[in-house]
Structure 1
Amino acid sequence: MNELSIFIDESGDVGPGSERYLVTLVFHNQAVDIYENIERYEQSIRNSGLAKTAFHFTPIIRGHDQYSLMEYRTRRKLFTAFAIFTEKIDFKYGTFAYLKREFPTQETLENKIRRDINLAIRNNLEFFQSFDAVKIYYDNGQKIVKRAIHSAIEGTISKEAIVYRDISPASYYLSQVADYVCGIELTAIRYQTHAAGNTEERFFGEWINFKKNYLKKIRRKRIG
């Protein structure tokens, strides 16, 4: 059976706590084995004497949460190792970004997310219909995302072909890849809107460096 996995991550929240809201879907053909990529990534961590930890984009660049006691140099090495891992594996993705003030209610935001995902699937229908089953991995952090994604996918792909699975983000490397991609896309927006601060510039350099070293490499995997 030919199966497609979809890993979902978001940045921001649907309440007043953030200016923007991003949703990223990472699409992976389960027939494409990434075991060797994982082995090389984990070996690079061991060779560097670093502690293995689940990747979280914002905490690692800002030194928060489990990274709060790590030196900048250590966090930088961990980030680089995961960036290389992400660039090497085979997947596609779509990121949908929203300026929340443009949506007067959560319902209007949910409807827009659903329409955007629906359109992305229809624009790549041959790819999606080539799979016998679609498995969605999501921790169900935001109800409007869960509803929008279920509705969009069920409206474009046979309902019988879909299996929903809840996960903890640390359980699957590809869920961490979704977090990385979402973080890169948000950082691109921050640079383009002149909102990037000292943290981004220290980690990635100027916009031209970020674009060359990170954004372009990831966007080669973006669906049309």
Structure 2
Amino acid sequence: MSEVSIFVDESGGQGGDSKYYVLTMLFHDQADDIAPIIDCHRKGLAERGLLDLPFHAGPLMNGHDQYEGMPLERRKAYFSLFFIDLHHLPITYQTFFYKRNEFADKEALSNRMRRDITTFLFDNLSFFQSFEKVKIYYDNGQQIVASALHAAIEYVLSTNSYLYRKSKNADFILAQTADFLCAIELVARKFDNSEASRTEEKFFGSARNFKRNYLKKVRRKLLRE
């Protein structure tokens, strides 16, 4: 059976104070084996003396959680290796942006997400209909995202063609990749608007360097109609 996975990640949090809310959907044809790439990534970690930690962009850049007390250069090594291995993953993605102050409440934001995802699915319907099963992986961390996803997918796709799977970031390299893509697109927006934090500037340098060294390469993975 032909199957495509959709891994979903968000940045901004429904209760946070971030100016932006970012939603990323990553797509993977399950016929494309990623096990060798995962093995290569783990080998790369070992060769650099890095622990095999689940990748989580926000805490990594800010030195929080499992990266607490880790020197900046070591955190950069984790980020760079994940970025290098991303190029070999047979994936595509799409990201949606929202400014919090443009929505009266969480329901309005969720409704806008639903419309955007619905439009995206219709625009790429032939791609999704080329698979017998669409599997959606999301941790249900944000109810506004879960509601938008269910409403859009169940409106566009036939009932027997989709399946939901609850996922944890630590369990799937593709969930971690969706997190990475979400972070890159958020940083891109902040650089565009001269809003990059000192931490982001330390990680990526100037806006020009970020676009040349990271964004340009990442966006080759965008799902094209």
Q: TM-score range by the shorter chain?
A: over 0.9
CA shift for structure 1 position 194: 0.7
2:115 matched residue in structure 1: 115
Q: Tell me whether 1:62 sits opposite 2:94 in the alignment.
A: no
User: Which blocks of at least 5 consecutive residues in structure 1 are unaligned?
Assistant: none
- Cα deviations by residue, 1:183-214 (Å, 9 ceiling, x for unpaired): 00000011011111221111111111101111
Q: CA RMSD in A?
A: 1.0
2:91 matched residue in structure 1: 91
Give the 5 Å matches for 1:172-211. 172-211=172-211
- Matched residue of 2:6: which SS? strand
TM-score, normalised relative to structure 2: 0.97
CA shift for structure 1 position 16: 5.0
1:222 matched residue in structure 2: 222
Q: Tell me whether 1:162 sits opposite 2:173 in the alignment.
A: no
1:146 matched residue in structure 2: 146
- CA distance in 1 between counterparts of 2:148 and 2:13 reads 15
TM-score, normalised relative to structure 1: 0.97
Q: Tell me whether 1:71 sits opposite 2:63 in the alignment.
A: no
CA shift for structure 1 position 61: 1.1
Matched AA of 1:209: N
- CA distance in 1 between counterparts of 2:195 and 2:90 reads 31
1:17 matched residue in structure 2: 17
- CA distance in 2 between counterparts of 1:156 and 1:51 reads 42
Give the ranges of 4+ consecutive aligned residues of structure 1 lying more than 3 Å apart after TM superposition.
Answer: none
Matched AA of 2:215: L
- CA distance in 1 between counterparts of 2:75 and 2:218 reads 20
Q: Tell me whether 1:106 sits opposite 2:79 in the alignment.
A: no
CA shift for structure 1 position 15: 3.0
- Cα deviations by residue, 1:76-116 (Å, 9 ceiling, x for unpaired): 11111111111221111111110011011211111110111
- Percent sequence identity is 46
- CA distance in 1 between counterparts of 2:95 and 2:108 reads 18
- CA distance in 1 between counterparts of 2:105 and 2:74 reads 42
- Cα deviations by residue, 1:6-43 (Å, 9 ceiling, x for unpaired): 11110012235221111111011000001111111110
Give the 5 Å matches for 1:7-46. 7-15=7-15, 17-46=17-46
- CA distance in 2 between counterparts of 1:6 and 1:35 reads 18
User: Which blocks of at least 5 consecutive residues in structure 2 are unaligned?
Assistant: none
- Cα deviations by residue, 1:119-171 (Å, 9 ceiling, x for unpaired): 11111111111010011111100111111111111111112111111111100
- Matched residue of 2:81: which SS? helix
- CA distance in 2 between counterparts of 1:127 and 1:212 reads 30
- Matched residue of 2:55: which SS? coil
